[in-house]
A and B are shown apart, each in its own frame.
Chain A
Amino acid sequence: MTLPLLTATDVAKSYGPVVALRSANLIVEPGQAHALLGANGAGKSTFVKILTGVIGAGHGAVLMNGEEVRFSSPEQARRGGIASVYQDPALLPDLTLRQNLKLTRTPLDEVEKALEQMGLAGLDLNELVRDVSLPFLRMIDLARALAHRPRLLVLDEITAALPTDLAATVFEVMRRQTDSGGSVLFISHRLEEVVTYCDMCTVFRDGKDVAAFVPREGGENRIVQAMLGDAANLVREGGRRSVQDLTAVAPRLRVEHVAAGRELVDVSFDVRPGEVVGVVALEGQGQDILFEALAGDRRFSSGEVLVDGERLVARHPAAAIDRGMVLVPADRATALLPQRSIEENLALTLYRRGRSWGPIPGRAVRTKVQNAIDRMSIDTRAAAQARRLSGGNQQKLTIGRWLTAGFKTLLLFDPTRGIDIGTKHQIYDLIREEADNGAAVLMYTSELREIALVADRVVVLYRGRIVAELPAAADEEELLSAAHGMVPNPADLEVGR
């Protein structure tokens, strides 16, 4: 009997009160292409980071060929036989490819050999990294990982931004690796790839492994079901919808054929006052760019944005804010003033114009701030510095800021990421209240169940375009399938590529 190449038992990791990985078990046999699956936030990335020595495990054991290993750096992991390719290639942009490889002490001849095998021998290693396109950088990263002749090759979302021919190269590399007795741990949101190329899959949900099966036997539907679990049947009574018929109402926000670089291609939709439109997408489908550009933090390369029927060209967030369109960004750290007080955090936007630079009308500001504190029920006991607040309270500050300032269109980017369930429900209630009072809300969420709780309607973004528009009542299976590009007529997707 051969020992498994990799056995992970009860691996767990928490950051303070936030549990990133509850208890993960995974077994990879030699010669196996093993897929690791799960919805956003299921703990896949954390698990991979632990495996490759980027972060330490809080609990549990990892065995390779029956011996316990504990890597404290990616380099140690490589020496131990685990090499990985991450979503973002870790290369210095101002050096050439060759210099980068030397810097990480990668055997150059091995890299060249690997590139040759991949049919990419023509790639000039003397080019500056910033002149090389992202897909080819991933290929270099893959060749670099192969140069270490790993027993386990970890591919984290490597195919996410690859054109078809390069993706085929990756599958060829995977096949060679398994044929020679090595193994692959393959992470992808593209389920058809998993079904076609993987011998086994393990599904993570809420930081735990919930199923392990042969993907070819289960098919995409079983994978989706395992990823969702009971959530598919979760009681929906918490959900509240807009009661009026909004179809006759003129849209507050109308987005027409906007595009930005290669990440966003031709997106059109609209949001009416009183309506919460949910955006569903896997990671990296262009949703972050859509929200940032709507908020004026970056620019669309083409297309039009209309607010109340009038064109908005926002070169700065101030332009969008002046038209009542405000953003709660994905990362609290980009919106919070960590060293300042709750009051200063909440009141910040009140001083955005030059004419509000003078004396602060103390009473008026206090009233507005107190109103936001009350409506968000912010815990003010640690009022002196926002960084001392809990994550949930910090998030309340970034939302509450717009309650003090007032708004008409609210852009929420994953507003409940990493906060506790109680606070989440407060935020859901608030979103519905604001919509009922006439605000238009556009909300991206990485948690599908939130759609049923707050949204009136859903648009699904896949590879930079809207592939489906569904009622919020659509079940999560349908949403998840659409988010994976499994729409009724996938041929439509290829148009214009």
Chain B
Amino acid sequence: MSTVSTIDDAATRGRRMGRMLTERPVIVLSAALLVLYVVTGIQDPSLFTAQGIRSTLLLACPLAIMAAAQTVCMLTGGIDLSSAMIANFAAYISANNAGAGPLQSLGFAFLVGAVVGLINGVGVGVFKVNPLIMTLGMSSVLVGVVTVGIVGDGFLSGSSRLLPFVKTVGSGNLFGPIPLNATVLLLVSVALLYGLRRTGLGRNIYAVGDNEPAVRLAGSRVWQVLIAVYVIAGILAALAGLMFSGISGSVGPDQTNSYLLPAIAAAVIGGTSILGGTGGFAGTIVGALILTVLNRLLLGFETSEAVRQIIYGIIVLALAWVYVRLTGQRAD
């Protein structure tokens, strides 16, 4: 008898936990972040200093922006695997045009994001290419474009010195332990949280991910929604590229590639369903923070980078699995 009731209790607890996670993901995730932060801090006490908090935030902000690009795509049931290459390309273009003033430098960077996003959106929305294939293909096209651009007298072979504004915003300090790039994240957060929840486009984005035929029957044009989504994702990726280059102080053809999977993972851990229809940006931000702290924790282990990568990957997979188990968000 007692064993039965224990199993029942565990089951109800799991279900309650699942519901809590579904309805209030940010609270649960914030608690997890706090625990992880303290555990990591015990191992590496510098984390409790102002410098420690600052370095965590500095790295988490651009990751959260790149994860924002994934979040909007994933809400429609898509994904953007080209966002790392968009980020690299945009950062390069910006540095190339740094001499021509901030307007042209930043304008070109965002234009790259918007145009690549537009092509992605047309592919996914109009020609019904699977988003995974479309953006992966786009990513490898961009590798080629950037490579051609930087060799010899290519169109990206100009100056690779950053725009001072990008460097300042990317690595400067606001006050106390808060880096200046947190203001960028704040602006993006406000825009996304409002945009997804309180605009017609936002409602359409969720609806497309939840049930595409229903959106069509309700009279919305799904392809228009998808184009808008991939353009937004492209612009966000370009922004993330600028911020990453601001931290490192340089540009590189593969500078942000290692952040692509963490960005997707941040969105998943943050409660956005990879199948679309549920989630949001608030969870993604916490997800990005969790992954940044987790990285820090692993850095403390005295082991090779390869082993660290393996552990990191396993933890991310486990988190995603637990999440999906608890919230029961499966294709049903």
Contact = CB atoms under 8 A, between A and B. Distances in A.
A352 B218 contact: yes
A337 B219 contact: no
B277 A318 contact: no
Contacts of A318: 219-221
Interface in A336-351: 336-340, 344, 347-351
Interface in A436-455: none
**B201, B206, B210: which has the most chain A beta carbons within 10 Å?**
B210
B215 A334 contact: no
B277 A339 contact: yes
B216 A347 contact: no
Interface stretch (A213-221, A225-233, A281-289, A357-365): A357-365
A73 B277 CA distance: 34
A295 B217 contact: yes
B218 A349 contact: yes
Nearest to B273: A339
Contacts of A336: 211, 214
A419 interface: no
Contact of B199 (A329, A339, A358): A358
Given A340-B206, A360-B200, A349 B214 contact: no
Nearest to B194: A359
Contact of A337 (B200, B207, B216, B273): B207
B95 to A, nearest CB: 34
A321 interface: yes
A357 to B, nearest CB: 4
A358 B200 contact: yes
Given A318-B220, A340-B277, A348 B213 contact: no
B203 A359 contact: no
Contacts of B211: 333-338
A327 interface: yes
Contacts of B219: 316-318, 321-322, 349, 352
B331 to A, nearest CB: 11
A401 interface: yes
B278 interface: yes
Nearest to B208: A337
Interface in A295-317: 295, 297, 316-317
Contact of A359 (B198, B204, B216, B218): B198
B200 to A, nearest CB: 3
Nearest to B198: A360
Contact of A352 (B199, B206, B220, B228): B220
B207 A360 contact: no
Interface in A386-413: 401
A356 interface: yes
A46 B292 CA distance: 54
Contacts of A401: 218
A108 interface: no
Contacts of B140: none
Given A334-B214, A337-B211, A357 B199 contact: yes
Contacts of B130: none
B210 A339 contact: yes
A358 B198 CA distance: 8
Given A318-B219, A318-B220, A357-B201, A335 B214 contact: yes
A354 interface: yes
B23 interface: yes
B224 interface: yes
A492 B218 CA distance: 39
Given A339-B278, A340-B277, A329 B217 contact: yes
A340 B207 CA distance: 8
A301 B203 CA distance: 34
Given A295-B217, A317-B219, A360-B199, A348 B23 contact: no
A347 B213 contact: no
B216 A344 contact: no
A167 interface: no
Contacts of B273: 339
B217 A357 contact: no
Given A338-B211, A340-B210, A384-B23, A348 B203 contact: yes
Contact of B207 (A297, A344, A358): A344
Interface-centre pick from A333, A334, A349, A351 (highest chain B CB count, 10 A): A351
A347 B206 CA distance: 13
A296 to B, nearest CB: 9
A297 B220 contact: no
A352 to B, nearest CB: 4
Contacts of A338: 210-211, 277
Contacts of B214: 334-337, 348
A317 B218 contact: yes
B98 to A, nearest CB: 35
A82 to B, nearest CB: 31
A339 B219 CA distance: 19
A354 B217 contact: no
A293 to B, nearest CB: 13
Interface string A412-444: 000000000000000000000000000000000
A348 B207 contact: yes
Given A318-B219, A348-B218, A337 B277 contact: yes
Given A317-B217, A335-B213, 7 more contacts: A317-B218, A321-B219, A344-B207, A348-B207, A351-B204, A357-B228, A362-B198
30 contacts: A316-B216, A316-B219, A317-B216, A317-B217, A317-B219, A318-B219, A318-B220, A321-B219, A329-B217, A334-B211, A335-B211, A335-B218, A338-B211, A339-B273, A339-B277, A344-B203, A344-B206, A344-B207, A347-B203, A348-B203, A348-B218, A348-B220, A351-B201, A351-B203, A352-B218, A356-B200, A357-B201, A357-B228, A360-B200, A360-B203
Top 3 A-B pairs ranked by shortest CB distance?
A351-B200, A352-B219, A357-B201
